[in-house]
Amino acid sequence: MGLAVARRRLLAGAGAAFCVGALAGCGAVSGRGAGSVGGPLLRLTPPRASVDRITHITACTRPFRVEGPRIELERIGDKDVVHHYGHGGSGWSLSWGSGAVAVEKTMATGQRDIAVIGCGAIGLTTAILLQRAGAKVTIYAKDLPPGVASSYASGVWSPDSRICLEQHATPAFKSLWEGMCRRSFVAYQGLLGLPASPVEWIDSYYIPDGSGPSAPAEPDARPKFAELRRELVPDLSPGRQDFAPGSHPFGEGTVRRNTFMMFNIAPYFRMLMSDFLINGGHVEVREFHHPADFAALPQKTLVNCTGYGARALFRDESVVPVRGQLARMMPQAGVDYGLFHRQVSFVPRKDGLVFQFVGPDDYFGYGDASTEPDRAEAELAVRTIAGLFATA
């Protein structure tokens, strides 16, 4: 069965489940009804979520490697190439800490005139960190923001999202990951409160589907993805709060509130590009088809930040595509919270409301390199969130 067919069947099943839940209704958006056990009263401005308000749909491929990101030096011809790619769904989240590791390897070559290949989240942050280390930096890239894959990320801080398979989370990798995570986290705290809010904290609410206990799932023989946050950096996540039935607008289940960081990617990208150029950086639009093409560059040391592009450029089949799609709407005043319900994530970014069907597990979209928008998937995501605020 093809990937597209499998996705359509999964979406059809999810759509049927949504319809059943929507018929039950969710009550008002605030208030305390019968059965309340007290506690805070949750009031939320409903998003104006309807399929006719979708402004655009984007899909991209996350560059996953089962062993985790590749950050290592390789000699190619007369060039030193520091590879820095393969972050799965954690590129934005780990970029500053991961970039620091790559910069250390780059500066150790002794060169101070550096080429960075790629202008996505990893490429730009690495370039800025190289500048701070005293290097002269030129970015060479086929595409520039907003036309890069990083522009199509959800914008949620997710430092262990598809970062590696559990079997490869060795003590050495865990130590590396924790260092990258903590260093990135500190960097983001310095970006809070800036104009256009490139980084901000938001509250998000997990809404149970209300369908009751489900049948036991069949054993899953597929390798598990590593989950590192709770084990290694629990102190970086604020405490959770539960809202009992009657104290929230979402039916009879208990709603859980989490708080996490979010990236407003459009202004964040603009800030990064501006910082790079102000500090003397140069950008040249150029496409590379083979590593031998690097010979034409004047720089002796290069940092390869090509993400999923590394699969074709370096014939690196360890890079596995994981498809991700977003449905976008215009921003809405007063909607400053996130939601997660029935495998749908909703994020209120400043550059637009974001709806994403994430699937039942991390294997949703795995191995799928297609970037053609799926309208049915987008509409399911929007209707799922809209259904939360439907009245009985």
- Specify if 186 maps to a domain: yes
- Tell me, what's the pLDDT at 391? 54
How many whole angstroms separate alpha carbon 39 and alpha carbon 183? 37
- Specify if 358 maps to a domain: no
**Which pair of tokens denotes residue 34?**
């019968």
Name the residue range of residue 166's domain.
63-193+264-320
- Specify if 283 maps to a domain: yes
- Tell me, what's the pLDDT at 392? 36
How many whole angstroms separate alpha carbon 254 and alpha carbon 247? 9
Low-confidence ranges of the chain (pLDDT < 50): 5, 16-38, 392
- Specify if 245 maps to a domain: no
- Tell me, what's the pLDDT at 70? 98
CATH code, domain with 89: 3.40.50.720
In contact, 258 and 202? CB cutoff 8 Å: no
- Specify if 22 maps to a domain: no
How many whole angstroms separate alpha carbon 80 and alpha carbon 109? 8
- Specify if 14 maps to a domain: no
How many whole angstroms separate alpha carbon 112 and alpha carbon 240? 46
- Tell me, what's the pLDDT at 367? 98
Site of tokens 């030129």: 138
Give the pLDDT confidence of 255-272 residue by residue, as tens digits: 999 999 999 999 999 999
Number of Cα atoms under 13 Å in the Cβ half of residue 240: 11
Is this structure's pTM higher than 0.85? yes
Query: What is the number of structural domains in the chain?
Result: 1
- Specify if 169 maps to a domain: yes
In contact, 338 and 154? CB cutoff 8 Å: no
Distances (CA, A) of 234 to 156, 158, 182, 202, 209: 17, 13, 11, 18, 27
CA angle 20, 25, 27 (to 5 degrees): 160
- Tell me, what's the pLDDT at 168? 98
- Specify if 336 maps to a domain: no
